[in-house]
Amino acid sequence: MNDRIRILAVTHNYPRFEGDFAGVFLHLLMRQLPQYGVDPIVIAPHDTGAKEFEEIDGVRVYRFRYADKESDQDIAYRGQMHQLVLGSVSGIFKFKSFLDRFRAASLEVIKKEQVELLAGHWLIPAGLVMKPLAKKTGLPTIMSSHGTDIRLIGKYAGVAYRYLKSFCRQLQSWTFVSSYLRDELLRVDPGLGKILEVLPMPHDESLFYQNNQIVREDDLIVSVTRFTEQKRVDMLIKAMALLAEQQISFRLEIYGEGVLKQQIADLIGRLGLSEKISLFSAVSQVDLAMVYNRAGILVLNSVGEGFGLALSEAMLCGASVVGANSGGIPDIINHDDTGLLVEPDNPAELADAIARLLQDKRLRERLSQSGLQSASERFTSNASAARYAAIIRRAIRR
For 249, the domain range is 217-378
Residues 176 and 224 placed together within one structural domain of the fold: no
pLDDT means per 10 residues, the chain with 398 residues, are 87 91 91 97 95 96 94 82 68 89 98 98 94 96 89 68 90 96 91 93 93 96 96 98 97 96 98 98 94 98 94 98 97 98 98 98 97 95 94 92
Residues 233 and 197 placed together within one structural domain of the fold: no
Q: Tell me if 331 is assigned to some domain.
A: yes
Percent helix, strand, coil in the chain (nearest 5)? 50, 20, 30
Q: How close are the terminal C-alpha atoms of the chain, in Å?
A: 20
What predicted TM-score, i.e. pTM, was given to this entire model? 0.88
Q: Tell me if 72 is assigned to some domain.
A: yes
What is the model's pLDDT at position 151?
Answer: 75
Q: Tell me if 114 is assigned to some domain.
A: yes
Measured CA to CA, the distance from residue 4 to residue 34 in angstroms comes to: 8
Residue 270: other Cβ atoms inside 10 A: 11
Residues 73 and 94 placed together within one structural domain of the fold: yes
Measured CA to CA, the distance from residue 330 to residue 308 in angstroms comes to: 9
SS3 218: strand
Residues 68 and 117 placed together within one structural domain of the fold: yes
What is the model's pLDDT at position 214?
Answer: 97
Residues 65 and 173 placed together within one structural domain of the fold: yes
Burial label for 224, CB within 10 Å (0-12, 13-18, 19+), is buried
Measured CA to CA, the distance from residue 352 to residue 194 in angstroms comes to: 41
Q: Closest Cα to residue 185, out of 228, 141, 146, 130?
A: 146
Residues 67 and 124 placed together within one structural domain of the fold: yes
Residues 231 and 186 placed together within one structural domain of the fold: no
Residues 330 and 388 placed together within one structural domain of the fold: no
Residues 124 and 261 placed together within one structural domain of the fold: no
Q: Tell me if 188 is assigned to some domain.
A: yes
Residues 70 and 132 placed together within one structural domain of the fold: yes
Q: Does residue 45 have a cis peptide bond before it, meaning omega lies within 30 degrees of 0?
A: no
Q: Looking at the 3D structure of the chain, how many domains does it have?
A: 2
Asked whether the beta carbons of 77 and 48 are under 8 A apart, the reply is no
Q: Tell me if 209 is assigned to some domain.
A: no
Residues 15 and 94 placed together within one structural domain of the fold: yes
Q: Tell me if 208 is assigned to some domain.
A: no
What is the model's pLDDT at position 149?
Answer: 82
What is the model's pLDDT at position 85?
Answer: 67
CB neighbour list of residue 353: distance below 8 Å, 6 or more residues apart: 322, 340, 342
Q: Tell me if 211 is assigned to some domain.
A: no
What is the model's pLDDT at position 1?
Answer: 43
Q: Tell me if 36 is assigned to some domain.
A: yes
Calculate the CA 239 to chain-centre distance.
Answer: 26
Residues 31 and 118 placed together within one structural domain of the fold: yes
What is the model's pLDDT at position 87?
Answer: 62
- Domain of 239: which CATH number? 3.40.50.2000
